[in-house]
Amino acid sequence: MSRLPLQNLETAPEASRPFIERALGNNGFVPNLIGVLANAPTAVETYFTVGEINGRASLTLAEREVVQITAASVHGCEFCVSGHSAIALKKAGFDRATVVALQQRGITGIARYDALVAFTRAVIVSRGNVGNGELKAFLDAGFTQAQALEVVLGISLATLCNFANNLAASEINPQLQDFRPGVLQP
C-alpha cells in the first residue's frame, strides 16, 4: 500500500490531470509513479518536462536507459528499475541478459555501456565530484564532455522518480511485474 495517495483522472488536482492523460495514452495504464507525482502538479509537470528534455539529449535511447536503470539500482528504486527494464527491452532493443546485468549492477560485456554504467555510478556516489581518471575513462569510451553533463541530466530525472517512489513506497504496477529484478531472467 502506498504511503502517498495514488491519484487518477478523477481524484488528481486539476493541473495534474493532463499529465495523467498523457501517461495513460503513452502506456495504456497509469504508472504508480505518475499517480504519486500527480499529488503535486509541479512535480508531475517537472517529470514530463525534464523527460522531454532528456529525450533530446545526444545520448541514444539505449544509453539513456543505461543511465536510468543504473541510477534506479543505486538509489534502490525497484519500481524504476522495473519500468526502465521494460523500456530497454521493448523500445531500446536490449536483450534480456544485458538488462539483467544492469539490474544486478554487473558487467554487460558491451564496453560503451559498461563505461556509461561506471561513470553514472561515479557521478551519483561522488555527487558529481568524479575523479579525473573516471572522467577520462568515460571520454576514452567515445563519449563527449557534453554527454557527461547529459548523464547528470539523466540522473536528475532519475532522482526525482526514484526518490518519489521510495518516499511513497507504492507497489509496482501489474504491467511491470515481469520486469522486476530477480524476476526477469536472461
What is the structure's pLDDT at 160? 98
Give the C-alpha separation, 81 to 86, whole Å. 9
Does residue 9 lie within any of the structural domains?
no
Q: What is the DSSP letter of 142?
A: T
Does residue 3 lie within any of the structural domains?
no
Sign for the pseudo-dihedral over CA of 65, 102, 142, 154: positive
Q: Measured between alpha carbons, how far is residue 145 from residues 98, 120, 122, 130, 138 in Å?
A: 26, 14, 15, 13, 9
Does residue 6 lie within any of the structural domains?
no
H or E element that contains 162: helix 145-168
Give the C-alpha separation, 17 to 64, whole Å. 27
Does residue 167 lie within any of the structural domains?
yes
Give the C-alpha separation, 165 to 96, whole Å. 24
Give the C-alpha separation, 26 to 7, whole Å. 17
What is the structure's pLDDT at 1? 85
Q: Taking the chain, what is the end-to-end CA distance rounded to the nearest angstrom?
A: 30
Does residue 8 lie within any of the structural domains?
no
Alpha helices in 76-144 (DSSP H): 78-90, 96-103, 111-126, 132-140
The pLDDT profile of the chain, 186 residues, written as one tens digit per residue, is 899 999 999 999 999 999 999 999 999 999 999 999 999 999 999 999 999 999 999 999 999 999 999 999 999 999 999 999 999 999 999 999 999 999 999 999 999 999 999 999 999 999 999 999 999 999 999 999 999 999 999 999 999 999 999 999 999 999 999 999 999 999
Q: Per the structure, how many domains does the chain have? A: 1
Does residue 141 lie within any of the structural domains?
yes
Does residue 173 lie within any of the structural domains?
yes
**CATH (domain of 96):** 1.20.1290.10
Task: Determine the structural domain holding residue 164 and report its residue range.
Answer: 14-179
What is the structure's pLDDT at 66? 98
Q: What is the DSSP letter of 29?
A: S
Task: Show the cell assigned to 54.
Answer: 532528456
Does residue 172 lie within any of the structural domains?
yes
Give the C-alpha separation, 66 to 13, whole Å. 33
